[in-house]
Amino acid sequence: MTDVMGDDRLLKIKDEDGMMSPFEGIEKGSVLQDCRCFNDLQLDTQKCEAVLVRLLYLVGQGEKLTSAEATDVFFSVTKLFQANAPSLRRLVYLAIKELAHTAEEVIIVTNCLTKDINSNVDMYRANATRVLCKITDAQMVQAIERYLKQEIVDRNPVVASAALVSGQQLLANNKGDVVRRWVNEITQALEHQSPMVQFHALALLYQIKQHDRLAVTKLVTAMTRGGGSRSPLATVLLVRYTARMMSEDTTTPPGGQRPLFEFLEACLRHRSEIVRYEAVRAIAALPNVNANELMPAVTVCRLMLTQPQASMRYAAMRTLASIAFTAPIAVAASNSDMEVLIGDGNRSIATLAVTTLMRTGSESSLEGLLKQIGGFLADLADELKVRVVEALREVCLKYPSKHHALLNFLGNALREEGGLEFKRSIVSAYLDLMATLPGAKEMCLGHLCEFIEDCEHSQLSTQILHLLGREGPHTSAPEKYIRYIYNRLILERPPVRAAAVSALARFAGSSSTPALRRSVAVLLQQSLADSDDEVRDRAAYLYKALGLDQFTIARPGGGGVIKLVSPTANGVPKDEGKDKDVAAMTAKAEAFTSLPCPVANLEAELLRYISTGDTSTTFNVDVVPKQNIMQAAESGTASGPSGPVAPGARAGASVAGGRRAEAKLVDPAAAVMAVPQLAQLGRPFKSSPSVALTEEEVEYTVKVVKHVYPTHVVLQFDVENTLEDNQLENVTVAVDTSSASGLCDVVLLPAAVAKLGAPATAFTVITRTDGELPLGAMACTLRYTVRDVDAATGEVDDSGYEDDYQLEDLELTIGDLMVAPAEPPANFRAAWEALGGDNEVAEEFSLSHDSVATAVGEIINYLAMAPCGGSGDANPRARSHVLLMAGIFAPQYEVLLRAQVAMQPDGVALNVVVRSQDYEVSQVIAGSIA
Amino acid sequence: MKPSGNMVSQPLVKAVVIVNTKGGRVCSRFCDKVMWPDLETERAFEATLLKKVQALGEISHGVDIMEFGGHIVAYTQCDDLLMFVTGLASENELILAEVLGSLDESLNILLRGLVYEENVLLHLQGVLLVIDELVDQEGVVMESDPVELVSRAGVQSSSFIDNVPMGEQTLSQALQIAKDQIARTILQG
């Protein structure tokens, strides 16, 4: 059998036919059978090698060996240690490494490996070390420590590197405390002839010392003073360590760390381009680096831009792009070099060049740049196109006066070939631009109208139709858009038609002229006979609700033809009373075309309504909360409107086509509302994210979710028992409210049983006192009755005893009383002005954060308000930042906050201005930050 | 004290991947069990790599670079093979490019300039060992000098040429290489 396989393989080698894989038709079973030749008394080295290679190929292709098979192979492989053929031995080492994680009997090869470590063949020593350290445990390491120490200082670089890298692995896997005793040997290896050994030695030395800041400083200072290492990779390490030291030490400005910075600058002139580039990256990433200090780094990048290797150009371009984010002026000097790269064969480089140029270029050069992009956009992959569009959007916001040219460019791009992602990015760019540049609105709408004339993505069509419905009626010439919408109505698929109906109806709103209303009536009437239910229902509903039927004459004798009063005829008597009706009706219809609450909330409430089974009371859409109650279970919730919403009562059940698959949302209040005693409280105003009240690795872990109601605060404690041999019964959490304000009576709802794998939930219900905000810290104690459980049988012991367990304090903060609005104001300034300065409170603080970005993040977290206009993301290197936030404070106060954060020598200065509908609320919020 | 997750890392390779132009794996080493816990994630990553490269259009000669989803990827094409060396987005791309360059060069030495799928599979033993000497299983760069790599891998090419006595080898070797190359050109044409 094995011979046949061998011949077969030879045949294929000689086969000149080319494309046949030598492993064609290879099977696990037969290979494992072939492995038996390892047991032969007279080992055939070549055959064994061939079998091993086939085994490695199988494993490499993802074939899984069962534990029994792996053990079997392992046993056979140990036999191969008898053969003294280097190439076979190399394969054996590799096989052991690849198979080690599946085999339990690692110990059986340890002996052979230890023997090899002792051997006098360097190749054996090196490889045996690598393998053994990978598969062995801490105890074994001690047994071979003596050899490892010798190997580190071995003259042969293979041996030394193997021992050093193995040392890194041992340390990383917590198997090698002995490694810490090798510092002398490792320091010696720093002087090794081979550059790779120097590199491995430095990495290991740093790994040992990394938690000792002083030792690291000493090591790095000594090495940098000596002019670095002869090894490029070791120098790269030094650059990284140096940059790390400089950024950790934020008290002295970069100038004060002269020797360190000089070392980085010297590395910019290193003979190895890897080191030069690493130094560029390090300098560019330094916090508080100034334009002067960046100049030499940018110069190195410029030189790299003209190199023939794509990797060099890419590297330089990527770094320049990242510098351009913070210091576009510093990069502007290399504009001419970057312009050349727009034609680069590597499209990633070209895209980076374009997007960077947009950031660094002057306003006047923009049009030339657009022309160049137009030439190459078509050949780009979608992903790169999206990046270009994003850069265009940024430029447009930066130079509003150029919006004409930019919008035209985007409009052209919209009509060209491209996938959904690309088109979507352009549409959302338009949406953004419309929100910030009111002057560009009609132009944007015009381009979008053109786009839906020939758009294959219903998702985008519905989104744009919705937008037209919202914006169109308020433009100077609404009639213009009706034609586009009507075209969709006759040409498109049902979801788009439905969206078109809703959009069209908006044009017949209260603000429209009678002539316009009449035209809409004519157009909508056709949809009354649409073949699709949704479209027909919407049309019928809106038609009625908007009072458009006044424009029709009843069908004579129920005939099919609908006669309309021509706009010129005096069919409609004009009287005051009628007009009022129209206004009321349109208001009602409009209220229905836009939901009063987020769709996710409505869905959750409807589901809850159905699940209670009590349908004696009708569902009231007004009780659905208007804030975002849902919390994204996964990060990255889809943004942007998810398409128009069906009117009125049908809304929850059927939402127009185009609705995007959204990230999974969970209702944090679901658990509390499912408890019968608590259900009568209704929905909490705010449910805070879950907070742990215990360390992670303890017997009983407790997490709390705080639910705030108008009259109560409900604390939901999720208790998890991690012990197998007992269970907790009658679990409650007692809280001490004496040091908190605004709280009085406490009622405990116990959880019956908490055992391993079955978490329990206990509730603590606290009544709020009128007129006071529930704020402050509370001590919590977990109380329970413990009963022993027999881990084997699961039998519960009858006797139990009461016990308690101190938890960490729990705190009610302003954030627990604040919810983020479903739609933060698009125009913060307008909202700010609208709220007025009557209840404005300003405060100043100084915080002990070490960067502006962390301070901003913490303020957002603490207040739980929604950042507006992208102001929530501060650049990690920013020296100052303005944060704009909106929130709704319990029970229904609108709150806006403007926070200015600036870096100071000794921390961060924070300047907060709060506006709200109530002076006291403003005061409480502004004062809470300290 | 900063958390250790924030520690400065040495240059690390996250994956070395050789696939054919149809996306079939020839030989891969994934160095991050967290990022790629199982075969499916590995295969999915290989498929994405191939898709991205093809979307970027023609591949220039030599090492190219791209970036996606938190990875920096150095890639190059060798006949019907695509070779990738990837690292985290924060990695020094020139180091990845150098590692890939070494891999490419070593294979060229090992396979005498005939780097294509079938030949790589025929000499998989050497290829596996070269990769093992290039980066270890955790992604640490072990050695980057191609000549050194091939000698460390220490394999005699198992093709029959090597069994021919020294004196005659050069001629028959030259003939064999010529034959191979003609065959490839015809097949490609």
Per-range mean pLDDT, top range of A604-608, A793-797, B78-82, B165-169: B78-82
Residues of chain B with Cβ-Cβ distance to A46 below 8 Å are 158
Residues of chain B with Cβ-Cβ distance to A379 below 8 Å are 57
Those residues with Cβ within 8 angstroms of residue A568's Cβ, 6 or more apart along the chain or in another chain:
none
Location of structure tokens 């790994």: A207
Residues of chain A with Cβ-Cβ distance to B97 below 8 Å are 309, 311
* Residue A434 forms part of a structural domain: no
Cβ distance A819 to A887 under 8 Å? Answer: yes
| Least confidently predicted of A371-380, A612-621, B78-87 | A612-621
Nearest chain B alpha carbon to A235: B10
Q: How far apart are the CA of A167 and the nearest CA of chain B, in angstroms?
A: 12
Please, what is the average pLDDT of chain A?
77
When comparing pLDDT for A765 and A17, which is higher?
A765
Is residue A800 domain-shared with residue A686, that is, in the same domain?
A: yes
Cβ distance A787 to A797 under 8 Å? Answer: yes
When comparing pLDDT for A78 and A571, which is higher?
A78
Contact call for A196 and B144, based on CB within 8 A: yes
Nearest chain A alpha carbon to B159: A13
Average pLDDT over residues A284-303: 84
Per-range mean pLDDT, top range of A359-363, A394-398, A655-659, A699-703: A699-703
Tell me which residue in B63, B141, B154 faces A311 most closely, judged by beta carbons.
B63
CATH entry, B15-154, from 3.40.50.12780, 3.30.450.60, 3.30.360.10, 3.40.50.300:
3.30.450.60
Location of structure tokens 């351009």: A324
Contact call for A381 and B56, based on CB within 8 A: yes
Is residue A777 domain-shared with residue A880, that is, in the same domain?
A: no
- Interchain contact B136–A (C-beta under 8 A): yes
Say what the pLDDT of residue B73 is: 92
CA atoms within 13 A on the CB side of A557: 0
Total of domains in chain A: 3
Q: Is A463 helix (H, G, I), strand (E, B) or coil?
A: helix
Say what the pLDDT of residue A436 is: 76
Is residue A757 domain-shared with residue A854, that is, in the same domain?
A: no
- pLDDT band for A650, please (50, 70, 90 cuts): very low
Is residue A798 domain-shared with residue A826, that is, in the same domain?
A: no
Say what the pLDDT of residue B188 is: 60
- Host H or E run for residue A789: strand A776-789
Residue A349 to residues A446, A705, B81, Cα–Cα distance (Å) = 34, 48, 23
The amino acid occupying position A249 is D
Residues of chain A with Cβ-Cβ distance to B138 below 8 Å are 168-169, 172
- Interchain contact B117–A (C-beta under 8 A): yes
Is residue A694 domain-shared with residue A793, that is, in the same domain?
A: yes
Last residue within a domain, chosen from A756, A779, A812: A812
Cβ distance B15 to B73 under 8 Å? Answer: no
Q: What is the CATH number of the domain that holds A722?
A: 2.60.40.1480
Say what the pLDDT of residue B159 is: 40
A94: burial class by Cβ within 10 Å (0-12, 13-18, 19+)?
A: buried
Say what the pLDDT of residue A160 is: 92
Contact call for B94 and A23, based on CB within 8 A: no
Q: Is pLDDT at A2 greater than 80 in this prediction?
A: no
The domain in which residue A510 lies consists of 455-551+584-591
- pLDDT band for A252, please (50, 70, 90 cuts): low
Residue A170 to residues A131, A166, B152, Cα–Cα distance (Å) = 12, 6, 23
Contact call for A86 and B144, based on CB within 8 A: no
Q: Which tens digits make up the pLDDT trace of A433-459?
A: 877 777 777 888 888 888 888 777 888
Average pLDDT over residues A262-279: 89
Last residue within a domain, chosen from A542, A561, A591: A591
Q: Is pLDDT at A719 greater than 90 in this prediction?
A: no
* Residue A771 forms part of a structural domain: yes
* Residue A916 forms part of a structural domain: yes
SS3 labels along B69-136: CCEEEEEEEECCEEEEEEEECCCCHHHHHHHHHHHHHHHHHHCCCCCCHHHHHHCHHHHHHHHHHHEC
Is residue A739 domain-shared with residue A830, that is, in the same domain?
A: no
Distance CA A205, CA A165 (A): 11
Contact call for B92 and A87, based on CB within 8 A: no
When comparing pLDDT for A797 and A657, which is higher?
A797
Contact call for B94 and A90, based on CB within 8 A: no
Contact call for A311 and B97, based on CB within 8 A: yes
Say what the pLDDT of residue B104 is: 92
Mutate to test the interface with B, among A55, A314, A417 (most CBs of B within 10 A): A314
Nearest chain A alpha carbon to B41: A62
Residues of chain A with Cβ-Cβ distance to B64 below 8 Å are 310-311, 314, 346
**What is the token pair recorded at A174?**
């917590």
Residues of chain B with Cβ-Cβ distance to A213 below 8 Å are 1
Residues of chain B with Cβ-Cβ distance to A274 below 8 Å are 92, 94-95, 98
* Residue A460 forms part of a structural domain: yes
Average pLDDT over residues A233-260: 77
Question: How far separated are the first and last CA of chain B, in Å rounded?
Answer: 63
* Residue A714 forms part of a structural domain: yes
Contact call for A277 and B92, based on CB within 8 A: yes
Tell me how crowded residue A451 is: count the other CB atoms within 10 A of its CB.
22
Give ranges for CATH 3.30.450.60 in chain B.
15-154
A384: burial class by Cβ within 10 Å (0-12, 13-18, 19+)?
A: buried
Say what the pLDDT of residue B57 is: 66
**What is the token pair recorded at A628?**
């975002």
Rg, C-alpha atoms of chain A: 36
Q: How far apart are the CA of A502 and the nearest CA of chain B, in angstroms?
A: 39
Say what the pLDDT of residue B172 is: 65
Tell me which residue in A23, A49, A165 faces B136 most closely, judged by beta carbons.
A165
Residues of chain A with Cβ-Cβ distance to B19 below 8 Å are none
Counting every residue written for chain B, the total comes to 189
Say what the pLDDT of residue A627 is: 61
Cβ distance A551 to A565 under 8 Å? Answer: yes
- Host H or E run for residue A912: strand A907-916
Q: Which tens digits make up the pLDDT trace of A90-143?
A: 888 888 888 776 556 677 778 888 888 888 888 888 989 888 888 877 777 888
* Residue A107 forms part of a structural domain: no
Those residues with Cβ within 8 angstroms of residue A750's Cβ, 6 or more apart along the chain or in another chain:
A730, A731, A732, A762
Residues of chain A with Cβ-Cβ distance to B11 below 8 Å are 233, 236-237
Distance CA A355, CA A342 (A): 10
Give the B window 9-68 contacts with A, CB below 8 Å: 9-11, 25, 27-28, 39, 42-43, 52, 55-58, 60, 62-68
Say what the pLDDT of residue B103 is: 93
Residue among A385, A383, A377, A427 nearest A407 (CA): A427
Residues of chain B with Cβ-Cβ distance to A211 below 8 Å are 1, 4
Per-range mean pLDDT, top range of A656-665, A670-679, B151-160: A670-679
Q: How far apart are the CA of B167 and the nearest CA of chain A, in angstroms?
A: 23
What's the ipTM? 0.83
The amino acid occupying position A791 is A
Distance CA A197, CA A199 (A): 5
How many Cβ pairs within 8 Å bridge chains A and B?
161
Q: Which tens digits make up the pLDDT trace of A563-594?
A: 333 333 343 444 444 555 555 555 555 555 55
* Residue A492 forms part of a structural domain: yes
Is residue A793 domain-shared with residue A824, that is, in the same domain?
A: no
- pLDDT band for A69, please (50, 70, 90 cuts): confident
Residues of chain B with Cβ-Cβ distance to A87 below 8 Å are 125, 154-156
* Residue A199 forms part of a structural domain: no
| Least confidently predicted of A61-70, A331-340, A607-616, A766-775 | A607-616
Contact call for A318 and B121, based on CB within 8 A: no
Distance CA A477, CA A482 (A): 10
Q: How far apart are the CA of B139 and the nearest CA of chain A, in angstroms?
A: 10
Location of structure tokens 């409430």: A605
Mutate to test the interface with B, among A51, A311, A317, A347 (most CBs of B within 10 A): A311
Distance CA A312, CA A653 (A): 56
Question: Residues in chain B with pLDDT < 70?
Answer: 1-8, 57-60, 155-174, 177, 184, 187-189
Tell me which residue in A18, A161, A312 faces B142 most closely, judged by beta carbons.
A161
Distance CA A440, CA A320 (A): 32
Contact call for A62 and B8, based on CB within 8 A: no
Average pLDDT over residues A477-483: 79
- pLDDT band for A548, please (50, 70, 90 cuts): low
Q: How far apart are the CA of A686 and the nearest CA of chain B, in angstroms?
A: 33
Distance CA A354, CA A338 (A): 8
- Where would I find the H helices in A379-440? 382-398, 403-415, 420-436
Tell me which residue in B64, B95, B154 faces A90 most closely, judged by beta carbons.
B154
Distance CA A862, CA A515 (A): 53
Distance CA A143, CA A762 (A): 53
Q: Which tens digits make up the pLDDT trace of A502-542?
A: 887 777 765 667 777 777 777 777 777 778 888 888 878 77
Contact call for A56 and B156, based on CB within 8 A: no
Is residue A856 domain-shared with residue A807, that is, in the same domain?
A: no
Tell me how crowded residue A559 is: count the other CB atoms within 10 A of its CB.
8
Contact call for A381 and B57, based on CB within 8 A: yes
Last residue within a domain, chosen from A767, A782, A812: A812
Q: Is pLDDT at A1 greater than 80 in this prediction?
A: no
Nearest chain A alpha carbon to B54: A381
Cβ distance A528 to A543 under 8 Å? Answer: yes
Contact call for B67 and A348, based on CB within 8 A: yes
Distance CA A19, CA B22 (A): 13
Location of structure tokens 């190749």: A123
For residue A891, whether the previous peptide bond is cis, meaning omega lies within 30 degrees of 0, is yes
Residues of chain B with Cβ-Cβ distance to A199 below 8 Å are 10, 141
Say what the pLDDT of residue A197 is: 92
Is residue A804 domain-shared with residue A847, that is, in the same domain?
A: no
Residue among A109, A95, A1 nearest A49 (CA): A95
Tell me the whole-structure pTM to 2 decimals: 0.65
Tell me how crowded residue A507 is: count the other CB atoms within 10 A of its CB.
24
Contact call for B137 and A318, based on CB within 8 A: no
Residue among A407, A453, A408, A405 nearest A431 (CA): A407
Tell me which residue in A21, A172, A274 faces B98 most closely, judged by beta carbons.
A274
Say what the pLDDT of residue B131 is: 92
Mutate to test the interface with B, among A51, A90, A322, A379 (most CBs of B within 10 A): A90
- Host H or E run for residue A502: helix A494-506
Pairing type for strands A841-847 and A866-867 reads unpaired
Distance CA A81, CA A83 (A): 5
Question: How far separated are the first and last CA of chain A, in Å rounded?
Answer: 81
Tell me how crowded residue B105 is: count the other CB atoms within 10 A of its CB.
16
- pLDDT band for A888, please (50, 70, 90 cuts): confident
